[in-house]
Amino acid sequence: MHFNVRGLMEWAKVEETTFKSGKYKDTLSPFRPLNELDREEVQTISEDVYGQFIRDVAEGRGLREDEVRKLAEGRIYTGRRAKDLRLVDELGGFQDAVAKAWQLAGQSGEPRLQLPPRDMALSLRELMRGAFGGAAAGVGEGVRGAAQGGGLQFLAPQLVE
């Protein structure tokens, strides 16, 4: 998916200037329309990632790749249907998943969780900062903000106080 916000930026009288050191450095920039080079590059990456996904699912689930391709076309499956199709082993809720993750991590006793507060909400400003401030800067700022606000999740006991 690609959003082009150039018209919005013009409406808001915000100008953008891009400096880049290679022809792919601003691929998928939201400040300009996609060009054919962008489309080809992103499509190639998308097909490669999809191929890796198909191979991994086929190998992990003991299915043939052609079977997985028929299933992995963007449809939504219920848990029961996914189990019938051999895409999942078990059905369960959040607590079941936490217990299984705890077990697979080799932990004993009751799982200890730190969850974000229910009233924690992101503002449009925070979302825009993450989206347009650069991926690394946005991620770093989001992690720092979440850590200060207690919004990070941890399952590893050495990270939970």
Distance between CA atoms of residues 127 and 122, nearest Å: 7
CB-CB contact of 51 with 44 (8 Å): no
CB 142 within 8 A of CB 126: yes
Q: Let me know if 32 is exposed, middle or buried by CB neighbors in 10 A (0-12, 13-18, 19+).
A: middle
pLDDT digits (tens, 9 = 90+) for 3-15: 888 888 889 888 8
If one compares 62 and 114, the residue with the highest pLDDT of the two is 62
pLDDT, tens only, 129-145: 666 555 445 445 555 55
- 150 pLDDT above the threshold of 70: no
Q: What's the token pair of residue 46?
A: 């998308």
pLDDT of 144: 56
- Is 35 within 8 Å of 24 (Cβ atoms)? no
Q: What is the pLDDT of residue 120?
A: 67
Instruction: Look at the chain and count its residues.
Output: 161
Please give the Cα distance from 100 to 107 (Å, whole number): 10
